[in-house]
Structure 1
Amino acid sequence: MPTTAETRIKPVVRWSLGHALPRTALRVAARRGDLQARLFVEANAAPTAELTGLFDGIRARGPLLESRFVYATATHATVKEVLTGNDFRSGIGAAGTGLLARLTEWSASEVLHPIAPPSLLATEPPDHTRYRKLVTRVFTVRAVENLRTRTEQIANDLIDQLDATGPVDLVGTYCGLLPVTVIAEILGVPAHERRRMLELGSAAAPSLDMGLPWRQFRAVEAALEAFDTWLSRHLDHLRENPGDNLLSKLIAAREDGVGLTDHELRATAGLVLAAGFETTVNLLGNGIALLHEHPEQLEALEDGGWANAVDEILRVDPPVLLTGRTCLRDTEVSGVRVPEGAVVTTILAGANRDPAVFDDPARFDVGRENAREHLSFSAGRHYCLGAALARMEGEVGLRVLFDRFPRLALLPGARRRPTRILRGYEHLPARLKG
């Protein structure tokens, strides 16, 4: 049982190790020209397209750039090699038995975190294999396709509620509500709790970032705690009242007679729930903005091709900027020696703009033949479990919106989210009848 002093001190230690110290060091390095550090600093405010120069600069230094802090790569082949390699584990952190590692372990929060074990994002085989196998059984591509008609109904219902005569914020009234409604139905969340679920997910989104100010850090931890409390109640309700939904099936799922523990179930369910709408909100908002900026591309979609358009949106302005991996043993990547314990930042958005793979990569082209080769869903064993769902929702959500309002016009006041890792719009004002 932690003492009152520990309860006060531990959050300060967590913030210092995970945010204050890295932020200070990275800002100093950025001023000295370190490209990896500059990406950290500039990504907080700049649209993804404005980071292209940094991606190109990192790529120009070779397939794997060794900076002052970590290795970094924006090269498609190298990003894929790291993400699929067995010499790397997911995530970053203070490894070993040194002082930082001991402080990190001592100060760890008991509240579930999306990039802390037993989250699927932070575990490796054999645990990761067991978790993913159980989830995949109830989250198949066929199950997702069966949701297509229902997703179209939800999209049309939301559009029917929009004020077609005045300005609307498409993030708050459409981009956010479509995926949260879909995932809520999949997970058996009652209609009256969905707005709260969206609010908690949005508040917790910066938890993936590093370098948060103290007040924002505390707000994020409070949101994670509230989300964990809400999720525990919801799971208890489903245990007593199981239904035809993914979480009820996940509670009952067994592999060789063994199911998920309560801690594993909350971590897995929480990740599926949050990831099921957070990134898709960004996909829809980014897609609306890109198609509005490129009306000739929207015109090209009059005869179809929305599935490929979604992949091109994911390539050009991905919902996730980058991810990290830690080297498990001395190895070699793209001809570069990487020592045990080293961290490699895999810049997904940079890989998506690699000219070695994508011709004229800065050009937005909904007919691009190899658009699906993007790495926005990661790769290897941590490939996004909800990729099929996100693609389907993006395709349906964008097509239905532009079919109903082909002259939709965005208005001044669009604002991107103040997060580095998750990339999208916080507000997207529009007039539906342009």
Structure 2
Amino acid sequence: MSRVADVKDEARSRLRWFAVHGVVRFFAERGIKIGDPQAKLIADPVTRANPGVVYQEIRDRGKIVKGRVAYLTVDHGLIFDLLRSDDYRTVVVGGNLPKPLRAIERRTRTAALHPLAPPSLLSVEPPSHTRYRKLVSSVFTARAVNAMRDNVQQVADTLLDELVAAGGGTVDIVSSYCAKLPVAVIGDILGVPEADRDKVLEFGELAAPSLDVGLTWSQFREVEQGLEGFDGWLATHIAGLRDNPGDDLMSQLIAASEDGVYLNDRELRATAGLVLAAGFETTVNLLGSGINLLMNNPDQLARLQDDPSLWGTAVDEMLRLESPVQMTARVAKGSVTLEGMDLEAGDLVVCVLAAGNRDPQVFDDADTFDVGRSNANKHLSFSGGRHYCLGAALARAESEVGLRTLFDRFPHLSSAGTGIKRDTRVLHGFRTLPVALGEPATVSA
């Protein structure tokens, strides 16, 4: 019986991959040959290595460009408005597929939660979105985030003490620091036992490409494995917190209600999973990219060492230049005219955040890293409107404290080789980044 079940599961998975990713990949690979910009962004390895060329192609063609299956925009002002417009909704996985493929996706989907499927905050709109966000915001307050800043500092100091004790030298700064810092902080927030944190890291790594389209079969299988494992772990974790609540924010969220209505188990798993994954993914990518920028721009690091008050602006500049989330999308709710183009209900608009962040109409010398840039905080990296990132303040605090503490402890930190970028299109960051720590600075007692 188990063998038959395995065969059925394999067949179901292949059908789902075909409907959601396989067809998209097939047409994207052909679209590359005719120069379709969206096809390049989906399946062209050359574009993946240097997307700026395609971003400029789109910019040269106008504020909005029609691809084979979606509209694209790299214009900062247009993206800003789209993210706040009530004429558009967020994307739901499989929601924009042709009807036959949509039917296959629905029949073959697993029970595991997906970040782009309801009840995830990323995929729902009011009134559900309003209710979920209000409950999360009642726990994830500015005061709570500020209180976490001391915890971030303690975790950073401990991790760097461990590097010093290990003898320093050459390390992969992503695995030894960038990943450990946010998972420890968000783990404390959500009551994740230390023994489970490596497991959460593993699930997160597997599931990271879940926001992409056009995955290969092997990538898809890893994503499904990560999502199913993460969902199962979350169910057990939440059940444990229900029985033995702590003083963590997850326990508070379980107990929170609006007019006597609580989040059910599926809503809790979706919300906790998104907070955990987003809180980790955004920060680990930003830390790695920030370290790389500072190693490659020693003049800017020197400015920060001379004037530490610039660290907050520097983090915004890092978010602008190396957006941890490269793009998002919106779907027209009905017929609407956008920059002279007539869109129908269901039409998809891809907002390339990373390109909007380098719009020369908004940012002078847009490709230059400037830790004192006066309008660095105009970046789009945390999205906007009702879907503005709930964890933005925490991500900024973790990155500012984490980077400042690292370079204070290791002021001569330098590159020890070429890093490896993550094999994802929506999420952007380093999978590995070798550095030479150099001599540590003396830490006063």
- TM class by shorter chain equals over 0.9
Matched residue, 2:190: 187
Match of 2:403 in 1: 398
Q: Among 31, 35, 40, which residue is 1:38 paired with? A: 40
- Find the counterpart in structure 2 of residue 358 from structure 1: 363
Aligned partner of 1:326 in structure 2 is 331
In structure 1, the residue corresponding to 2:258 is in which secondary structure? coil
Quote how far apart the aligned CAs of 1:94 are.
3.7
1:294 equivalent to 2:297? Answer yes
Instruction: State yes or no: 1:377 paired with 2:387.
Output: no
Corresponding residue of 1:85: 85
Report the counterpart of residue 109 of structure 1 in structure 2.
Answer: 110
Deviations 1:325-375 (A, max 9, x none): 111101122333221111110000010011111111011111000000000
On the 8 A contact 2:191/2:248 being kept in 1, the answer is yes
CA contact (8 A) 1:81 1:333 kept: no
Number of the residue aligned with 2:29: 27
State the aligned residue count: 430
**Which position in structure 2 is the counterpart of 1:415?**
420
Q: Which amino acid aligns with 2:53?
A: G
Aligned to 2:315: 310
RMSD of aligned alpha carbons: 1.6
Q: Is 2:43–2:214's contact at 8 Å kept on the other side of the alignment? A: no
Q: What is the aligned counterpart of 1:233 among 233, 236, 252?
A: 236
Q: Does 1:213 align with 2:248?
A: no
Q: Distance in 2 between matches of 1:259 and 1:94?
A: 28
CA apart distance, 1:309: 0.3
- Comparing 84-93 and 376-385, the one that deviates more: 84-93
Give me the whole-angstrom Cα distance separating, in 2, the residues matched to 1:345 and 1:124: 18
The amino acid of 1:378's aligned partner reads S
Alignment partners' CA distance in 1, 2:211 and 2:236: 24
Q: CA deviation at 1:8?
A: 3.7
Match of 2:288 in 1: 285
The answer for the alignment partner of 2:443 in structure 1 is none
Residue 208 (structure 1) shift = 1.2
Q: 1:267 offset after TM fit, Å?
A: 0.6
Residue 100 (structure 1) shift: 2.5
Stretch deviating more after TM superposition (308-317 or 144-153): 144-153
Deviation at 1:95, TM superposition (A): 4.4
Please report how far the alpha carbon of residue 279 of structure 1 lies from its aligned counterpart in structure 2 after TM superposition: 1.4
Query: Are 1:341 and 2:346 counterparts?
Result: yes
Aligned partner of 1:429 among 405, 416, 434: 434
Shift of 1:35: 1.4
Deviates more, 1:102-111 or 1:421-430: 102-111
> Equivalent residue for 1:12?
14
- More relative contact order in 1 or in 2 (CA 8 Å, sep 6+)? 1
Q: Partners in 2 of 1:165 and 1:99 — Cα distance?
A: 57
Q: Is the Cα–Cα contact under 8 Å of residues 140 and 249 in structure 2 kept in the other structure?
A: yes
SS of the residue 1:273 aligns to: helix
Q: Are the counterparts in 1 of residues 41 and 47 from structure 2 also a CA contact under 8 Å?
A: no
| CA displacement, residues 141-200 of structure 1 (integer Å, 9 cap, x when unaligned) | 221111111111100100111134321110001000000000000111111111111111
Equivalent-residue separation in structure 2 for 1:53 and 1:25 (angstroms): 21
Alignment-mate amino acid for residue 211 of structure 2:
L
Residues 1:351 and 1:183: Cα distance change in structure 2 (over 3 Å): same
Query: Which deviates the most, 86-95 or 231-240?
Result: 86-95
Instruction: Specify the alignment match of 1:100 in structure 2.
Output: 101
Cα distance between partner residues in 2 of 1:151 and 1:310? 16
Distance 2:238 2:196 in 1: 14
Which one-letter code corresponds to 1:111 in the other structure?
A
Structure 1 position 98, deviation (Å): 2.8
Of 96-105 and 33-42, more deviation after overlay is shown by: 96-105
Structure 2 gaps of 5+ residues are: 440-445
Letter in 2 for 1:123: V
Identity across matched positions, percent: 50
Structure 1 window deviating more from structure 2 (192-201 vs 235-244): it is 192-201
CA shift at 1:22, angstroms? 0.5
TM-score, normalized by length of structure 2? Answer: 0.93
Give the TM-score normalised by the residue count of structure 1. Answer: 0.96
Partner of 1:175: 178
Partners of 2:98 and 2:169 lie apart in 1 by 59
Alignment CA distance shift 1:166-1:71 (3 Å): same
Secondary structure of the residue aligned to 1:161 is helix
State yes or no: 1:203 paired with 2:206.
yes
